[in-house]
Amino acid sequence: MATEIDILQFSKQCNDIFEQISRDVVGQKEVVEGTIIAMIAGGNVLLEGVPGVGKTRLVRTLGRVFDMPFSRIQFTPDLMPADVTGTNIIVKGEDGNAKFEFQPGPIFSNIVLADEINRATPKTQSALLEAMQEHKVTVMGVTRKLDEPFFVLATQNPIEQDGTYPLPEAQMDRFMFKLIVPNPSLDELMDIVNMTQKTMDEVSDCACTGEQLIQMRATANQIPVAEDVMRYAMTLTSATHNNSEYASEAAKKYVRLGASPRAGQAIISAAKVKALIKGRFNVAYSDVNELAYPVLRHRIKMNFEAIAERVSADDVIGMIIEELSKKYKI
C-alpha cells in the first residue's frame, strides 16, 4: 500500500539519482533514464554502443549512486563460467582437515557490470541465465540466492564482431531493455572534454540504497493501468509475431521471431515507473509507445527480407506503433 511518503520519497530519490549521475555522465539523457527505469522496475539492461561513448562509466557511476555492492566482469573468450559464478575450492578447516568451501564469484553482488558480454563464449554467457532471471546461482548442485536487488548491466560493442559470440535469444530475452548509447552531441562533447580536463575522477555520491530502490519498485508497481492501455501494450507485443492473430503488416513482412511474453511484462513494469517519474499516477499510451523500442528491439529477430532492405528492428517497431495507433485511434 503506497502512502504519501512513499510517493514523495520516490520523487525525491529519482531527482537525487539523476542529479548524481549527471555529475559524472554528460548527456545521454535517454540512456540514463532508461537504465534507471529498468533498475527501479527490476530489469537487466544491455547497453550497446561503440567504444568510448561512456557505457562503462555510466554503469560504474550507477554502482556508486546506488549504495550497493558492485562488481565488474570483463568478458573475454577465455572466461569460464566458474569465473562468473564462483566455485568450490579446497581449504583447510579449523580441525585441520581439508574441505570444499564455496568461493563466490563476482556475480554475488547487487550490481554486476558484464563488460563486453559478447566476447565470452556461449557457455560462460549461459552462466548468467539463472542469475538474471531467477536471481539464483547453482554451483555443484547447490543453489544460492543472490542478494536483492540484483541487476546485470551489460555492455556490448556493435562493431568489431571478430572473436565475439552473439548473445543467444534466451539471454537476450532476459534483458529488460536494450539501450543504444549514441555518440554525444557537439555541446555534450565539449562538456565531456571540459569535465575530464579538470579530473578523471568520478565524483558522484550515493543517492539511493538497495532497500530504498526496492521500496521505489513497490511504489511504482501500484500505479494503475487502465484495461485499454494494458490491452494496447499486449497487442503491441503480439503484433511483433508474424503468425499471431494480431500480427502487424510490418511483422508479417520483416519479422522472423517476435517478442516473448516477458516483453509484455517488461513494458507494463517499466511504463509504471516511467509514469511515476513523470509525476503521473497512471500509465498512458505514450509511455507504452516510448518503452516499446528498448523493450522490443532485441527481442525481435528480423528475417532475410528485412536485412536485405536494411530495415532495422526499430523501424519495424515504429511501423507497428503507427499501425496500432490508427487502429486504436490514439
Min dist. Cβ of residue 196 to other proteins (A):
39
100 touching other proteins, by CB under 8 A:
no
- Which residues 108-167 are close enough to bind other proteins by CB under 8 A? none
Instruction: For other proteins, give the closer residue by CB, 12 or 136.
Output: 12
Contacts with 200 (C-beta within 8 Å, 6 or more apart), sequence order:
none
11 touching other proteins, by CB under 8 A:
no
| Helix boundaries (H) for the chain | 4-24, 29-41, 55-65, 81-85, 122-126, 129-134, 169-172, 186-198, 210-221, 227-238, 249-254, 261-277, 285-296, 304-308, 313-328
- CA 182 from chain centre, in angstroms, equals 16
Contact residue for other proteins among 187, 203, 281, 305 (CB under 8 A) = 281
292 touching other proteins, by CB under 8 A:
no
Instruction: Report yes or no: 240 and 260 within 8 Å, Cβ to Cβ.
Output: no
Instruction: Report yes or no: 188 and 26 within 8 Å, Cβ to Cβ.
Output: yes
Residue type, 272: K
22 touching other proteins, by CB under 8 A:
no
Please report, to the nearest 10 degrees, the dihedral formed by the alpha carbons of residues 128, 131, 134, 139 taken in order. Answer: 100
SS3 63: helix
Contact residue for other proteins among 3, 97, 197, 199 (CB under 8 A) = 3
d(CA 148, CA 109): 9
10 touching other proteins, by CB under 8 A:
no
SS3 77: coil
Q: What is the DSSP letter of 108?
A: S
- Which residues 204-223 are close enough to bind other proteins by CB under 8 A? 219, 222-223
Instruction: For other proteins, give the closer residue by CB, 154 or 271.
Output: 271
224 touching other proteins, by CB under 8 A:
yes
Instruction: For other proteins, give the closer residue by CB, 158 or 224.
Output: 224
Min dist. Cβ of residue 35 to other proteins (A):
23
Q: What is the DSSP letter of 309?
A: T
Binding mask 25-44 for other proteins (x = CB under 8 A): --------------------
Stretch that binds other proteins, among 37-45, 89-97, 163-171, 281-289 (CB under 8 A): 281-289
Write phi, then psi, for 208 (nearest 5 degrees). Answer: -160, 135
Write phi, then psi, for 111 (nearest 5 degrees). Answer: -120, 120
Stretch that binds other proteins, among 107-115, 177-185, 225-233, 258-266 (CB under 8 A): 225-233
Min dist. Cβ of residue 279 to other proteins (A):
8
d(CA 233, CA 259): 12
Instruction: For other proteins, give the closer residue by CB, 25 or 288.
Output: 288
Min dist. Cβ of residue 226 to other proteins (A):
4
SS3 256: strand
Contact residue for other proteins among 91, 190, 226, 307 (CB under 8 A) = 226
What is the grid cell recorded at 238?
Answer: 503480439
* Cis before 51? omega within 30: no
280 touching other proteins, by CB under 8 A:
yes
Stretch that binds other proteins, among 114-122, 171-179, 193-201, 279-287 (CB under 8 A): 279-287
Min dist. Cβ of residue 61 to other proteins (A):
31
Contact residue for other proteins among 101, 228, 249, 309 (CB under 8 A) = 228
Contacts with 222 (C-beta within 8 Å, 6 or more apart), sequence order:
1, 2
Write phi, then psi, for 195 (nearest 5 degrees). Answer: -65, -45
Residues that bind other proteins (CB under 8 A): 1-4, 7, 219, 222-229, 280-286, 329-330
